Structures are given as C-alpha cells and as structure tokens.
Structure 1
C-alpha cells in the first residue's frame, strides 16, 4: 500500500487507487499522513476537516470517517489512541517522504562528484509528482505550511537537475530546462544563474548577459533591489570570458529570488 500527497491525496495498492471517501475523509487522511507515526489529537483532526466552525456532530462524524479509513488501510495502520489517532507507515511508502530521500541522495551524489547518479536520483524524485502538493486539500489551513515546504523542495529538485545536466555536459538540455525554470520563477536567482551558465557554455554569451540584465531590471523595477553578489559576479565572469566557467560546476547561490538581492544604495 502506498500513500500519495504529491498531487491529490490518494492511497494505492498494486497500482490501483483505493476508495477513501469524499472531501472530508480525505482531509482527515491528509492530516494523518502529514503527521505519520505521531498521534494526532481529535481536536486537531476536527480543525483539519471543518476549520474554525465545526458542527456539533463533528467528533461523531470524524469517528465515522476514521472507521471507514481503517477498513481501507487496516486497523494496524490507523490506530486509535486515548488522545487521538495515529497512522503508521514506512516513510518510503509515502511519496513526499520518498521524494525528500531521493532528492537528498541526488544532491549528495552531485556534491560528491557523481552527477550521473545525482541526475538519476533527482529524476526519480521529480517523477513522483502528479500535480501541486495536496491538491485536493490545498485550501485547508493545516496544509499550507507543508504545501509551501514541498513546493520549495520541488523547485530545488528542478534546479538540482539542471546542475547535474550541466555537470554531465548536456548543454542543450540544460538550456531548455533552465529556461523553463526561469519562465516559471523569473526572480529566483539560482535558476537564473543556471540559465546564464548554460547559455554561456552553449556559445551564447550575449543571451547569457541579456538574461542577467533582464532579471536585474525586474528586481529594480519591482523591489528596488539589485541582484545578489553571486549573480553579479557570474555576470562579470561571463563578460570577461573566464575560462574557469567552461569546466566549473554550475553556480549555486545560497540565496534565491529577491531574498538574496541587495538593496540599492
């Protein structure tokens, strides 16, 4: 049995999606999956399912939803405790946890000088996504922090994939992938850096510098900020045709987007 939240909330067995009920049971299931291995208090589940205005029958209705879920998942998987309920599952059977493990393995392999393994692991990680995280409970307050965290990690994974392609010498693939990243997140400096480097390595230095000036203009116009030092230094290195850029690993500024940009004096 596998549990999916990288997209709509879903439980599958043998590749077949299991019936877990309508919107409210799915909210309860999502809340339990986000706290897998820990007891979730009844009050927290009521808040997750109904928000600030639960009906008087909320606790009884929750018991009904959980009973139905237990019939699907198994009583040993979804257990009743004095304070609430606990869903127990191997982390690797929850797609979000498996995604994080694969991403960490890919980044470690890339940092260790093995971009081929790094690329493979990150591709596996990104392949687990079926749509926006927790798609069917995206409006629920309890899910917002996890949605934001997983969405950020998905962007990191996409950037890491470009990094691995650059390290493997796949210049044209890197340009296409980095361009897609920048189109989606034009102020995220790590993606911009990858695109600049990929274009430069593809012999398109003018386009690389134009990319820098475009993001600089956006930052100045929208936030009154200059790009971060890392991006500005990369632009200067490209301008002077620094030979080290041809073989060096792709740049990865610690800061991304306008958060790393510098205030204009």
Structure 2
C-alpha cells in the first residue's frame, strides 16, 4: 500500500495502478495520524486529542472505534491493527510519501556535503517529484496537523534550496531559474532562495537582473523587518563581479551555515 500526504490524502492498494482519495474528514484525519507514525502504535488518547483538537465528543472511545471501522472499509483491515491501548498502520514508513520525501532530502544533503553533487541533485529531484500540492492540505484543521503541514512546507523549501545548490555546482543553474524566481517571490524572507536566484541569474548572463534581485531583497528586508541582508545574501551580490561566481555559492552557503561568514 502507498500513502499520499503531499497533496490530497490518497491511498493506493497493492496491485492497483491508481490512488484513491480518502473520504470523510475525521476518517481522513485518523488515517493521516496513523500514517505519520507508520509501523508504530498510536495511543487511543493521542488519536482522540489530535482528531478532535482536544475537544472530543462524548463517548470519544466509541466515536474513535466507529472511525476505525470506517477506515477498515477503505484500507484492508489487517493493516489497521489494534494494539494494547491504541492502533497501528502496519506498513513501512517508506510507503508514505512524506516519510520517503524526508529520507530523500536527508540523503541528498549527505551527498552534497560529501561532494557527490550529481547524486544530491538526483535525490532532490526525486524528493520534489513526490509533491502533488500542499502537504496535508485536506486535514490541517487541527493544531497538531497544522504544525506537521507547516513543517513539511519548510522542508519542501529546503529541498528546493538543495536542488539549486546542486544544479549551480553542476553548471545547470538555468534549469532552476524559473523555480527560484517563483519561490523567492512567494517566500520573500528566505534569503538562501534569493542568494541562489542571484547566482542563477548571474551564471545565465543576466547580471543586471541579478543585481536588481539583490536590491529588491535588500529593500524588502529593510522595509518589512528593519534588518540588513545576511552574510550569505550580501556575498552572493558581492561575488557577482568575480569570475568564479557560478560555483562559489555552494561553499559560501556551507560557510554561512557553520558561522564562518560574518
């Protein structure tokens, strides 16, 4: 069974070629909570708190058991296991796209840190292909699931930044230029995105636009937050005049992360 959380909640059964939506908001919330802890038991009290946002109905245990019966009509019953005090979705975590995405992102970071740039790019590409829309978009009406959704959105930006680093190091910056333009506009306070956009524009031979992108980011940070650009963003602009700008953004980013650039 394959579970989709990066977009509308879906499930694909073994032997089928297409995924189906999980219907019913509370059944869907139960399914998502079990999938987030795939392979591990989730206590009844935790499920009740997180499905009903700590405002459970009367006879909450019975209400939960009703949801479980409805879920078992969608998912094979032997995969929704009862354990002492809770329930478990008996699947491998890698069968859940959100978990698979996190593993690919971590592996991509390790590859980039070890200088395996092509492998890092391939892992970032594979991770980002899993996204069909905002994570948990049809179940984020409780506090716990909103936190998970927001964290996944941040990880998606991490993956976009990882891909940009790898592509720039491979001399393929033009291939991520449109993506960086869109994401830097949508997330104006992510300075790494702006730094990568500036560098991608420069290596595409569009240095005037790169300088304009820096000035826009600088003005936005000053006007909205009252702060100056971070070292990584300043250095991306300063290195526009150097012939090595197409590769040094990777080293610059790593230096900034560990505090060597100030």
What CA distance in whole angstroms lies between the structure 2 residues aligned with 1:159 and 1:234?
A: 14
C-alpha displacement at 1:76, in angstroms? Answer: 3.7
C-alpha displacement at 1:20, in angstroms? Answer: 4.4
- 1:49 matched to which residue of 2? 51
What CA distance in whole angstroms lies between the structure 2 residues aligned with 1:30 and 1:248?
A: 42
- 1:258 matched to which residue of 2? none
What CA distance in whole angstroms lies between the structure 2 residues aligned with 1:166 and 1:18?
A: 38
What CA distance in whole angstroms lies between the structure 1 residues aligned with 2:249 and 2:236?
A: 12
Distance change >3 Å, CA 227–CA 249, structure 1 → 2: closer
- 1:252 matched to which residue of 2? 253
Deviates more, 1:3-12 or 1:201-210: 201-210
- 1:197-216 superposed matches below 5 A: 197-216=199-218
Is the contact made by 2:8 and 2:21 (CA closer than 8 Å) also made in structure 1? Answer: no
> Within the alignment, does 1:165 sit opposite 2:167 as a pair?
yes
C-alpha displacement at 1:120, in angstroms? Answer: 1.9
C-alpha displacement at 1:116, in angstroms? Answer: 2.5
C-alpha displacement at 1:212, in angstroms? Answer: 1.3
Is the contact made by 2:34 and 2:89 (CA closer than 8 Å) also made in structure 1? Answer: yes
| TM-score calculated relative to the size of structure 2 | 0.88
**For 1:141-183, what per-residue CA distance to the aligned partner results, in whole angstroms no more than 9, with x for missing partners?**
1212211211111001111122222122123223222212211
- 2:183 matched to which residue of 1? 181
Match of 1:62, SS state, is helix
Deviates more, 1:85-94 or 1:242-251: 242-251
What CA distance in whole angstroms lies between the structure 2 residues aligned with 1:10 and 1:247?
A: 40
- 1:74-85 superposed matches below 5 A: 74-85=76-87
Match of 2:194, SS state, is helix
Is the contact made by 2:192 and 2:232 (CA closer than 8 Å) also made in structure 1? Answer: no
Q: How many pairs are equivalent? A: 254
Match of 1:7, SS state, is coil
- 1:259 matched to which residue of 2? none
| TM-score calculated relative to the size of structure 1 | 0.87
What CA distance in whole angstroms lies between the structure 2 residues aligned with 1:197 and 1:139?
A: 39
C-alpha displacement at 1:70, in angstroms? Answer: 3.1
- 2:3 matched to which residue of 1? 3
Is the contact made by 1:18 and 1:72 (CA closer than 8 Å) also made in structure 2? Answer: no
> Within the alignment, does 1:109 sit opposite 2:111 as a pair?
yes
- 1:33 matched to which residue of 2? 35
What CA distance in whole angstroms lies between the structure 2 residues aligned with 1:244 and 1:231?
A: 16
C-alpha displacement at 1:11, in angstroms? Answer: 1.3
Distance change >3 Å, CA 55–CA 177, structure 1 → 2: closer
What CA distance in whole angstroms lies between the structure 2 residues aligned with 1:116 and 1:157?
A: 14
Gaps of 5+ in 2: none
Is the contact made by 1:20 and 1:68 (CA closer than 8 Å) also made in structure 2? Answer: no
What CA distance in whole angstroms lies between the structure 1 residues aligned with 2:43 and 2:229?
A: 46
Distance change >3 Å, CA 19–CA 164, structure 1 → 2: closer
Distance change >3 Å, CA 16–CA 119, structure 1 → 2: same
**For 1:4-36, what per-residue CA distance to the aligned partner results, in whole angstroms no more than 9, with x for missing partners?**
111122211223335744111111111111222
Match of 1:225, SS state, is coil
C-alpha displacement at 1:243, in angstroms? Answer: 2.6
- 1:86-165 superposed matches below 5 A: 86-165=88-167
